[in-house]
Amino acid sequence: MVQRSVACSNLGYTFYVTGHWDDAVRCYEQALEMVYPNSDHFTGALDTLANIRFEQGKLTECEDLLKRIEHVTCSDTSLTRYVYRHSMLTRVKVLTHRGDFRGALALLEKSIGVAEHSQDKWLLTSALLNKADILRRLSETETATDVIEAVGQQISTEPPELFATYQRVLACALAVKGEHQSAKIHFERAHRICFALGHSQGVADLRREWHATTAAIIESAENMPSTSSQLVGGALECIAALISYAGRWHLVGLELIRMLSDCGLTAVLVTDSANADEKTRASTASTSSTADWRINLQSEEPVLELAIPRSSDVVSGAVVNALRTIVGALKALDGARLETEQRSALWPMDELPSKHDQFVVSGHFRDLMAFAQRVARANVNVLITGESGTGKEILAHAVHDFSDRAVKPFVPFNCAAIPPHLLESQLFGYRRGAFTGADKNYEGVIRSARGGTLFLDEIGELSLDLQPKFLRFLESGEISPLGEPISSLVDVRIVAATNRNLEDSVRDGLFREDLFYRVNVVRLALKPLRERRDEIPQLVEQFVARAAKDFNKGH
């Protein structure tokens, strides 16, 4: 059911960004019926629905949806949840639309603090860009310029949709300052990015903001000549944009076409793909010829080239050769970036046990792996926290493999998979005849991990009746199997994991405080995958390669 809900949400988001709002609403309403009301997926769907209602001009419905998110995420610990902190930007849009710029600015300051605390770079950049835009509306031009300049120092590494937002904010700020030609260049660049991404909603937002704030100014300055400093500045900004686009060759091509138009040259993008339909091929053939200058942008499928009508003009030939040099440098830059990403994505082979070369280790997960390696040889208990599916067992296995117990057993045990009344016998074992059905001795998972590591997943599921006995084991290493007259000592290292907030469980009386401190000697906190976006491409590549191998489909 959850997978179907995710599929509906993904389809709904596709409809949303392409401007098909009614279809998007239908998909999200279906998704909401399939998930628990308090889940992040549920509140995420509410936030996107709120954005759709805002675009439709239904502000009352938008605000009602935002109130539902606030009701779900009402505690202080919920303020840093992914969905809540990103819904702040939707609230900012509503406040801005109503003209409450000071209220929007106050909320943005709060979201910036939350983004810094949670290390959410995307949210931080988005909030800063919104802040600059609000400051510009409040005529605090110098402060807005400082914020834009600070964002501009980091924007080249951000996703293209954020780069488009940066260009839009910069265009509006330049227009207000009277730099009309430069403003128009940045607006057109933002438009090209959104158009190339197929982001119809982004194009609509861009046009609305642009015309609402600057159309009259730009129209009156349409025919103003550009100064030499503006021309040089524009050229430098084009080069910076090309560097940011390296690897996104369709965007590179569109930027080069605009640059060539300033030189009096026309150009078209030519694709030669086995998957291209006849209509696309016919359109390409009608706008290019074999006599054109060709600059290859992308060699692999789909092949992408820039076609420029050949001319006997010496200057035109020099311009084309300069473009070839620029494209060659961009390809080298893209290759260097890919090599860096590949090196940082995988844990170095000489530092990992052999079995860990199956796992993608980059960014946040790599940092935790490095910390796990440092603490592994200390014979202390470890608590791993994080949502389901974030890699807790992989991290637990790493702690075991990096420790002096690596040659001993690693025994995983899920406390939530066993009925509560059977949990004690499964953990501590029992003697034959200890209870009805105990027809043979059973040593239990603690003794089966003797000398090694016991990984207790979902430790928060331990009942209050069982917790004192488990605490006794952690304190002394003694266990008392059911039916055994004497206790026995067992040397086992405990690595526990939970997707619960154990501090809340302690406050609610569901988990003993002394047991919590025994388990929580060293904590490894895993962020959810939605906050580790840099790891996702490598994970996808790994899963595809594994599936291809399993089904004999090649790599």
What's the confidence (pLDDT) of residue 217?
A: 53
Which is more confident, 361 or 482? 482
What's the confidence (pLDDT) of residue 353?
A: 40
Distance of alpha carbon 15 from alpha carbon 23, whole angstroms: 6
Are 403 and 476 in a shared domain?
yes
Average pLDDT estimate for 245-250: 79
Are 353 and 280 in a shared domain?
no
| Bond from prior residue into 309 cis (ω within 30 degrees of 0) | no
Which is more confident, 487 or 290? 487
Q: What is the DSSP letter of 224?
A: P
Can you tell me which residue has the tokens 């409450």? 100
Which is more confident, 125 or 433? 125
- Under the banding of pLDDT at 50, 70 and 90, the label for residue 51 is confident
Contacts of the segment 26-29: beta carbons below 8 A, 24+ positions apart? 28/52
464 close to 510: Cβ distance less than 8 angstroms: yes
In sequence order, what are the beta bridge partners of 457? Answer: 414
Q: Which of 305, 263, 265 is nearest to 288 (CA)?
A: 305
What are the tens digits of pLDDT across the range 446-478?
999 999 999 999 999 898 989 999 998 988 888
Has residue 494 got a pLDDT over 90?
yes
Assign 3-class secondary structure to 43-100: HHHHHHHHHHHHHCCCHHHHHHHHHHHHHHCCCHHHHHCHHHHHHHHHHHHHHHHCCC
Average pLDDT estimate for 128-157: 86
The torsion angles phi and psi of 526, rounded to 5 degrees, stand at: -90, 130
Element (H, E) at 104: helix 101-118
Residue 149 CA neighbour count, 13 Å, CB half:
6
Distance of alpha carbon 98 from alpha carbon 107, whole angstroms: 14
What's the confidence (pLDDT) of residue 1?
A: 57
Are 319 and 376 in a shared domain?
no
Residue 409 CA neighbour count, 13 Å, CB half:
14
Q: Which of 200, 202, 170 is nearest to 185 (CA)?
A: 170
Are 259 and 338 in a shared domain?
yes
Are 321 and 406 in a shared domain?
no
Q: Name which of 85-99, 402-416, 533-547 the model is least confident about.
A: 533-547
Are 442 and 316 in a shared domain?
no
Has residue 166 got a pLDDT over 70?
yes
535 close to 529: Cβ distance less than 8 angstroms: yes
- Is residue 384, in this structure, part of any structural domain at all? yes
Write the CB contacts of 474 (distance below 8 Å, at least 6 apart in sequence). 381, 494, 515, 518, 519
- Under the banding of pLDDT at 50, 70 and 90, the label for residue 290 is low
The torsion angles phi and psi of 307, rounded to 5 degrees, stand at: -105, 125
- Is residue 388, in this structure, part of any structural domain at all? yes
Has residue 279 got a pLDDT over 80?
no
Are 475 and 494 in a shared domain?
yes
Could you give the dihedral angle defined by the CA atoms of residues 174, 178, 183 and 185, in that order, rounded to the nearest 10 degrees?
-140
Average pLDDT estimate for 534-552: 78
At 300, the amino acid letter reads E
Q: Which of 286, 312, 345 is the last residue of a domain?
A: 345
What's the confidence (pLDDT) of residue 76?
A: 45
Can you tell me which residue has the tokens 């800063």? 128
207 close to 171: Cβ distance less than 8 angstroms: no
- Is residue 128, in this structure, part of any structural domain at all? no
CA angle 174, 178, 182 (to 5 degrees): 50
Average pLDDT estimate for 73-81: 54
What's the confidence (pLDDT) of residue 554?
A: 58
Are 336 and 374 in a shared domain?
no
Tell me whether strands 293-298 and 303-308 are parallel, antiparallel or unpaired.
Answer: antiparallel
Are 357 and 259 in a shared domain?
no
- Is residue 293, in this structure, part of any structural domain at all? yes
Residues of the chain with pLDDT > 90, as a percent, come to 16
What's the confidence (pLDDT) of residue 547?
A: 80
- Is residue 104, in this structure, part of any structural domain at all? no
- Under the banding of pLDDT at 50, 70 and 90, the label for residue 38 is low
- Under the banding of pLDDT at 50, 70 and 90, the label for residue 518 is very high
Are 436 and 520 in a shared domain?
yes
Q: What is the DSSP letter of 122?
A: H
Q: Which of 163, 176, 166 is nearest to 212 (CA)?
A: 176
Distance of alpha carbon 38 from alpha carbon 83, whole angstroms: 11
What's the confidence (pLDDT) of residue 457?
A: 92
Distance of alpha carbon 42 from alpha carbon 8, whole angstroms: 12
The torsion angles phi and psi of 507, rounded to 5 degrees, stand at: -65, -35
Can you spell out the DSSP letters for 159-222? -HHHHHHHHHHHHHHHHHTT-HHHHHHHHHHHHHHHHHTT-HHHHHHHHHHHHHHHHHHHHHTT
Which range marks the domain in which residue 507 is found?
Answer: 349-544
Write the CB contacts of 37 (distance below 8 Å, at least 6 apart in sequence). 72
Neighbour count for residue 343 (Cβ, 10 Å): 10
Has residue 354 got a pLDDT over 90?
no
Q: Name which of 101-115, 217-231, 372-386 the model is least confident about.
A: 217-231
What's the confidence (pLDDT) of residue 253?
A: 83
Can you spell out the DSSP letters for 477-527? -EE--BT-SS-EE---EEEEEESS-HHHHHHTTSS-HHHHHHH-SEEEEPP
In sequence order, what are the beta bridge partners of 497? Answer: 384
Q: Number of folded domains in the chain?
A: 2
Question: In CATH, what number is assigned to the domain containing residue 493?
Answer: 3.40.50.300
The torsion angles phi and psi of 527, rounded to 5 degrees, stand at: -75, 155
Write the CB contacts of 368 (distance below 8 Å, at least 6 apart in sequence). 395, 524, 526
What are the tens digits of pLDDT across the range 377-436?
888 899 999 988 888 998 999 999 989 899 999 999 999 888 888 888 889 888 887 777
- What tokens does 381 get? 């208990």
What are the tens digits of pLDDT across the range 193-221?
888 777 777 777 777 777 766 654 544 44
459 close to 498: Cβ distance less than 8 angstroms: yes
Are 359 and 332 in a shared domain?
no
Distance of alpha carbon 235 from alpha carbon 238, whole angstroms: 5
Q: Name which of 120-134, 375-389, 423-437, 515-529 the model is least confident about.
A: 423-437
Distance of alpha carbon 126 from alpha carbon 281, whole angstroms: 39
Q: Which of 310, 327, 345 is the last residue of a domain?
A: 345
Which is more confident, 386 or 250? 386
Q: Which of 345, 380, 400 is the last residue of a domain?
A: 345
- Is residue 137, in this structure, part of any structural domain at all? no
Has residue 77 got a pLDDT over 60?
no
- Is residue 431, in this structure, part of any structural domain at all? yes
CA angle 335, 336, 342 (to 5 degrees): 90
- Is residue 86, in this structure, part of any structural domain at all? no
Are 241 and 390 in a shared domain?
no
What are the tens digits of pLDDT across the range 316-353?
777 778 888 888 888 888 888 777 665 554 444 334 44
Has residue 53 got a pLDDT over 80?
yes
At 159, the amino acid letter reads P
Q: What is the mean pLDDT of the chain?
A: 80
